Amino acid sequence: MKQILSLTMVLLPLILISQNSESYFPVEIGKEKQLTWYNDTYVESFTDSTELGGETYYVYSQKFKNNTIEMPIRISNDTVYHWNEVKNKHQVFFGINPKVGETIGIGTIKKIDAKLKTPKGKLTDLLVIEMTYSNGVTDKRYYKKGVGLVAVKSKKGLICYYVPE
């Protein structure tokens, strides 16, 4: 009985993570993708899970040549949360449920089924979210189901895009 319970405790999180494969923000520990950022490239992945404020968060990692940025992320009811380490609390980041015009956290859904041309090809069936940061800066982030973030556009143009394998 203890073995079955232990096995369930190990497999359940893996099953729940794999069910996000058709999400605009899929959480899959170990899966990596490469993106550009201006003239640099980085690898994005979820590397681990951790318990914060009574919830399970996944470590979202962006690994650049000389720097790694990590942010604890969790998804609940199509809302992406991050752990605010300064305030020691859960904070809504943005929503990934495609309802045009809806604002959740710092993100507003702008378009569903969008298309975008990048130097690596044309991306289709995208969710576009406009992010408005506390310093007043805005950008548009493009997400594809099963892949996650695939591009970022600022007022200066395309600053980040997905490099498919």
Average pLDDT over residues 117-141: 95
Q: Strand 148-154 relative to strand 121-132: parallel, antiparallel, unpaired?
A: unpaired
Sheet holding 138-144, edge to edge: 89-95, 79-84, 68-76, 55-63, 40-52, 32-37, 157-163, 148-154, 138-144, 121-132, 107-118, 103-104
Question: Whole-prediction pTM value?
Answer: 0.83
In a domain, 32, yes or no: yes
CA neighbours closer than 13 Å in the CB half-sphere of residue 5: 2
Domain interval for residue 56: 25-163
**pLDDT tens digits, 63-110:** 999 999 999 999 998 899 999 999 999 999 999 988 999 999 999 999
In a domain, 4, yes or no: no
Q: Look at the chain and report how many structural domains it folds into.
A: 1
- What does the block give as tokens for 36? 């550009």
In a domain, 68, yes or no: yes
In a domain, 73, yes or no: yes
In a domain, 8, yes or no: no
In a domain, 130, yes or no: yes
**pLDDT tens digits, 116-127:** 999 999 999 999
In a domain, 31, yes or no: yes
